[in-house]
Structures are given as C-alpha cells and as structure tokens.
Structure 1
Amino acid sequence: MYYLKIINLSVNENDLPYPSKTERNIFSMVNASIRKGEIFGILGPSGCGKTIFLKTIAGLIKPCEGQIFKDGVDITFLSPNKRKVAMVFQNIALYPHLKNIENIEFPYVLVHQTENIEREKLKEIAVMLHIDEEKILQKKPAFSSMGEKQRVAIGKALASNPDILLLDEPLSNIEEGLRNEIRHNLKKYLKAREITTLYVSHNQVEIGIFADNIAVMADGRFQQTGSYEELYNDPKTLFVSLYIGEIPSNYLDKNEVKFLTSSRISYFLTIRPEECSISKEEEDSILIAGKVTSIEKFIQHNKKLAMIEYNNKPFGILLPIDYDVNLGQEIEIYIPLKKAKFFDDKNAKIPERIYNLW
C-alpha cells in the first residue's frame, strides 16, 4: 500500500493566495504513488509548478480538483497543522527574532512541549547538519550565512518529527564539499526513520543520488516518473529526453530527420553525444557536418564535448579528451539510427516515444 497517494491533483491560478485573472492551470491531473520512507524527487524547469505542488501537499494551497491521501486517509482539505507535514522553503522561513537554536526548538513550543525537548535528538540533528557549534546556534538568522540558515531550517523541520518532509532546493546555498556530506547523512537519517520525503532540486546529479524515484514536471503535469537511470535510458516524452542528463541530448526535428533518411523516417529524433561517432561505425547511420563552435572538457570522465551548429542549433559529440579537434574545424558526425530515440507529435504539446522502428 502506498503511504502518500495523489490522485488527479489540479491547481488553478485562482487557487493561489494572490489569484490571477487568467484562470490558467498551474498543473492539472497530477498523479503520484509514494511508499512509506521513499524519497521522491521532482525535477522540472523554473515556473513549472514544483513549489506550488509541495505547498498543496502541505495544505498551504487548496486544489481545485483531485485528492491527497496519507496512509489511506483523505487529507486534501485538512488544515496544515494536522497533517504532520514539515516543509523547508526555498525562500528560507525562520523566525528572525529567535536564535537559531530557538528556531530549531520551536516545533516543541508550538505544541506546548518545551519541557519534553529531546536534547539528544536535536544534538544529533545539529551535528549532522554542521550547526552544532554554539556560535552558530546562538546567532539570529540575520547574522547567519545563507548556508547556515538553510541548515537551521532543515533542523527545525526534522525536530518536528514529521511523517512527511517537503524539501524545496534545501541544499542550494551550501558549499559543495559540505553539501555532499550533508546530503549523504540526511538521506541516511531519513531512511533510518522512514520519513517519506518529497525533494525538489534543479541539480540532476544531486537528485539522482538522493531520490529513489523522480517525477519530471513540465507543461502542467508529471511527464514521467521513475529512477534516474530509467529517465535517462528510457525517456517516454521528447521533453524528458532533452531535459534529463548532465550533458543534454542532441535534437533533430521531424523534417530534418525526413530529409536525412530520404523520407524513411519522419519523427523527432534525440541522441546522446556519447552515442554519436566521428566515423561511420554502424551501417544504418545518418551524417551531419559543421564547424566546431565550442569545446568543453570533462576532466573527471576523460572526455571532451565538441559542439557544431547544424541548421542554426547546437549539436554535440563526446570525444576522448586527447582527440585532436580545434575551434572552427569542419567535422562530420555520424548518428547511428539504432541508438537514437524517436518521438511522434500526434499529441502536439507532448511528443511521445515511438518504439520498435527496427
């Protein structure tokens, strides 16, 4: 049984605290099934509704349609303070008149349990988040760095013993090395206590490591849900194929594909730069050419990305780092059709994957 089940959830601009006259849907008919203790990631472009979705789960925004079930109970219109849901906002929400330690302890104040503050638990949380030094705990938010405030906000959320934790870009202001350590320890903490977590981030590497499953949100819906590997290797829509990946996929529109395949195929095409080749390695390949406009090195992978312009859009190939190629040099790129992914635009708004062309 799923612990958090979201059925046909829709939010209109008129459902927001500051409604618009356009009555545009922020998102519509969104569905998700999340198990107890699962970390569920949400990826998508800015403005697609990720934060509003979290606020709807928290009860801060009422949907115009759909239902939210927690452990089999309908909480769609339950007040926020009765949901046992904690949220860490991207725009950090701390009480400015309280010290950091008082902010962390505030969930106990809220339920009149100050005499029952779990000091050992709060110390564990503070150590995990690297905010256990007195000089950090005794400061007020105004005198804390953005990274410190972000960690205090996470600590405050964990101190409330939530059943569900909502994290909106929670580590974005924390320096790289410390962020990696906190991410690792936070995941371990959440898993040990089976805290069901929804995690929004723009960082694909981070969310790929942190989340069990990820929903890609765009055009007002979850376009695909799965592990990062599933999204990367088997995208179901054109958007997911182009959006997922540290190095973006290449793209040809259906008219370009029709021309390059002598009218054999007329679908949208995507292919990873690492799947292309500089020489013809497979018989059924198509060829494009152009001058190198940029070269980007990926030292950790011992590779470099050479970009050309084809029909006024970038197209890349991943090469060994010692491959001899220069800016302005004309190169040929072979696209093996069996490695490419194709998408049909019968649904014009969201072109979907076509399988079994061979």
Structure 2
Amino acid sequence: MSIEIRLENITKTFKAKNETIYALKNINLNIPAGKTISILGPSGCGKTTLLKVIAGLEKPDEGKIFFNSEDVSELSPYERRIGMVFQNYALYPHYKARGNLAFPFWIKKVPEKEIDEKIRETAKILGVGFEYLLDKKPKELSGGEQQRVAIGRCIIRNPSVMLFDEPLSNLDAKLRVITRAQLKKLLVTFNVTSVYVTHDQTEAISIGDLIGIMNNGEIIQVGTYEEIVNNPKNSFVASFFGKPSMNLLEVKVINSQIMWRDKTIPLDKKIEDGEYLLGFHGKDVEINPNGEIKGEIYFIDGTPADISKVLHVQLEDNSSIKIEIKSGEIYRCGEKIAFSLPKKIYLFKKNSGERIL
C-alpha cells in the first residue's frame, strides 16, 4: 500500500557564529500516496535538509511528520522503511553489485535462497541488462550502471517511501536522459510515494507528478508544471521556474495605469500606486514590425531539431526578455525586432514579490 506523507510545521535551524540560520521554515507539505514530488530550488535553499528530515537522518526543531496517520517523527530511518538514493551512489566498493543488493539481508541473516529470489525480482523490475551487472564490482561499472545498482539496492528492501538526492547530477548528458527514463518507468511501475530533490528543471518536470518550489528554507508553491507556470504565487517563482521562465520588467503604477518607459497600459482594477514588476510569458509574445517595443536578438537558445526556440532580446533600455518562437521561424543574432506586449500580463510588487494581478 502506498504511503501518504504529511509534514506539519517543520522547522530546522543551525547555529553559525552565534547566529541562528533557518534551513527549513514552518514547512507544511502533503504528498499524495503513490505520487512523486520533485523539490526544485537554488543551491542552499534547504532541499537536501528537507529530504534528510523526511528520512529521519535529521531531527526537526519543531513540527511533525506523518506517514498516513502514523506520527513517525521519533522513528529511525530503518523504522520508517525509507529507501534513499544519493548523488554519489554510495556503493560498497569491495562487494560486487549482487553483494551490494544482498548486504542488508546478510546483516539480518536472511537465507541465501530468499536473498537470491529478491535479487531476481529486483533485476526483473530494473529491466534488460541488469542481471549482467550483478557480478561486477562498482569500479567496473559506468556511472549510469552504478546508479542502477544504487536504485536496485533501494527498492530491494520494498521501502514505504523512496527519496532521491540529485541522483543523476554526476552523469553525462546522454546518460542522464537514459537513466531519467528508466527511473520514471520504475516509479510508475512501483507506485511508491517518492521525493526527488534536484536543481535541474528538466529532471523535476520529467520525474515529478508534482513540483515543489523552494527558496530560503520555505516551500513557496506546489503544483503541476502548468499550474505553477500559469499561476505563479510570487515573482521568485515566476522568474525561477518555467522553460523559459517568465519575463519581468520594472514598471510603475500611477492612477491604475502601468507606466513603462514611454508606454502606458491601463488596468481593469484599482491598484495602489508604486513600483511593480510586469510579467509576461515569452510564448505569448507575437513579433510584428509595427510593435511599439523594440530590441535586438543577442542569443538564440535551441537547435534545428527543437520544436521551439527561445530568442534572448535586449531592449532599448538594456533590460532583456525571452521570446519563444516555433522552429520554422528564422531569426539571427544581431537582428532587430519589434513586438507588442501580450494581452495576458502579470503584476508583482517589486519589494515583496507578492502577486497582484
């Protein structure tokens, strides 16, 4: 049976030079049974600490952790039946892959016949070619093969919850794509509740059923890719998440009108005067020679094989934006273009980042 994970008011602090640093701030999170949530955020935002707290490797200063209705806050990682896959694989170098899978059962003196059966079942789950790896030591395996063994060692114990700490970051680009696909297939087949920590948006989107955006020890927003991109909670989420992320321009609001350089945009609702960030998606921008905003393309992100490409455009006031185009459209670096602001716009307070519109 899959486990629902619930975190209630989790806070974790560390002391540094007589200063209290918040690694996690009052986190409340609900992960549905059988789902995978990708935790995404910049370095140092608390992603790995959150994972360790769920695993029981770190104890929070405040708050509780529930697996279904059971409070596991005081239980050890073993008692929580956690399976964890690390960035550096953490395999025993003197054992072959078979030994790495069998080790936790050797400790408990499980009969060899039963261990062999568990290894056969695990090899079947992990697919073609895994049995070939079983008689090799870690030093004889590629990075991708080592990670498959690490995942096998995790699932052979039939964990209630699987936790992944940037497991693919040590692999080259091609292996990351291959291993990512294998891992997603495994999670769908295994139907185990999982938390996947990464700083790579492509991984987060590909692996997670849900995505949690973290910053400064807080989970800012949780949702699907579409929910977060189309309805970002604040300017940090808008500027951080998305492929490409939202464009943000510094503007002023006076008498419920947006003022940007010499442009005026009337608003349909009453908004307090002040400094704001005007947001819009690059996919909503239409390039046309009669557009009132002008700029120059300085970089094109994409290859001829991509369905779409992203133009990086420097505007006349030296700010830059990103415009998404279809693959058939031809533009070149150094080319000058013009466009109009799209109808769908967002507005955030400049200082707090709070979304207003």
- TM bucket (normalised to shorter chain) is 0.7 to 0.9
The equivalent of 1:314 in structure 2 is: 320
2:107 maps to amino acid:
L
Tell whether the 8 Å contact from 1:216 to 1:223 is kept in structure 2 after alignment.
yes
1:330 maps to amino acid:
K
Find 2:339's aligned residue among 333, 338, 343: 333
Deviations 1:246-286 (A, max 9, x none): 222211123495334438575212222111111289xxxx8
The residue correspondences of 1:162-173 to structure 2 (distance < 5 A) are 162-172=159-169, 173=171
Shift of 1:130: 5.0
The equivalent of 1:10 in structure 2 is: 11
Shift of 1:20: 6.2
The residue correspondences of 1:133-172 to structure 2 (distance < 5 A) are 133-134=131-132, 136-172=133-169
Find 1:305's aligned residue among 304, 310, 332: 310
Tell whether the 8 Å contact from 2:55 to 2:82 is kept in structure 1 after alignment.
yes
2:332 maps to amino acid:
N
The equivalent of 2:349 in structure 1 is: 344
Q: Evaluate the alpha carbon distance shift between residue 217 and residue 130 of structure 1 in structure 2; reply closer, same or farther with a 3 A threshold.
A: farther
Structure 2 unmatched runs, 5+ = 268-274
Structure 1 unmatched runs, 5+ = none
Find 1:214's aligned residue among 211, 214, 230: 211
Shift of 1:319: 2.7
Q: CA RMSD in A?
A: 2.7
Q: Evaluate the alpha carbon distance shift between residue 203 and residue 11 of structure 1 in structure 2; reply closer, same or farther with a 3 A threshold.
A: same
- Paired with 2:183 and 2:339, the residues of 1 have a C-alpha distance of 39
Tell whether the 8 Å contact from 1:13 to 1:20 is kept in structure 2 after alignment.
no
Deviates more, 1:196-205 or 1:295-304: 295-304
Q: How many residues align?
A: 339
- Paired with 1:92 and 1:184, the residues of 2 have a C-alpha distance of 18
Deviations 1:210-260 (A, max 9, x none): 322111111220110111221122111111112222222211123495334
Tell whether the 8 Å contact from 2:105 to 2:115 is kept in structure 1 after alignment.
no
1:353 maps to amino acid:
R
The equivalent of 2:223 in structure 1 is: 226
Find 2:122's aligned residue among 122, 125, 133: 125
Tell whether the 8 Å contact from 2:102 to 2:115 is kept in structure 1 after alignment.
no
Shift of 1:198: 0.8
Deviations 1:54-108 (A, max 9, x none): 1111111111111111122222222222111111111222222221111111221
- Paired with 2:108 and 2:59, the residues of 1 have a C-alpha distance of 24
1:25 corresponds to 2:30: no
Q: Evaluate the alpha carbon distance shift between residue 316 and residue 40 of structure 1 in structure 2; reply closer, same or farther with a 3 A threshold.
A: closer
Shift of 1:157: 0.6
1:186 corresponds to 2:192: no
The equivalent of 2:259 in structure 1 is: 258
The equivalent of 1:292 in structure 2 is: 297
Shift of 1:180: 4.6
Q: Evaluate the alpha carbon distance shift between residue 129 and residue 171 of structure 1 in structure 2; reply closer, same or farther with a 3 A threshold.
A: farther
The equivalent of 1:58 in structure 2 is: 55
1:277 corresponds to 2:286: yes
Give the secondary structure class of the aligned counterpart of 2:260: helix
Q: TM-score, normalised by structure 2?
A: 0.85
Quick check: which one's strand share is greater? Answer: 2
- Paired with 2:29 and 2:113, the residues of 1 have a C-alpha distance of 36
- Paired with 1:27 and 1:297, the residues of 2 have a C-alpha distance of 37
- Paired with 1:302 and 1:88, the residues of 2 have a C-alpha distance of 33
Q: Evaluate the alpha carbon distance shift between residue 219 and residue 232 of structure 1 in structure 2; reply closer, same or farther with a 3 A threshold.
A: same
Tell whether the 8 Å contact from 1:13 to 1:25 is kept in structure 2 after alignment.
yes
Deviations 1:174-214 (A, max 9, x none): 715532541342122222xxx21111223333332332211
Tell whether the 8 Å contact from 1:27 to 1:49 is kept in structure 2 after alignment.
yes
Find 2:242's aligned residue among 232, 245, 265: 245
The equivalent of 2:270 in structure 1 is: none
**Structure 1 vs Structure 2: percent identity of aligned residues?**
34
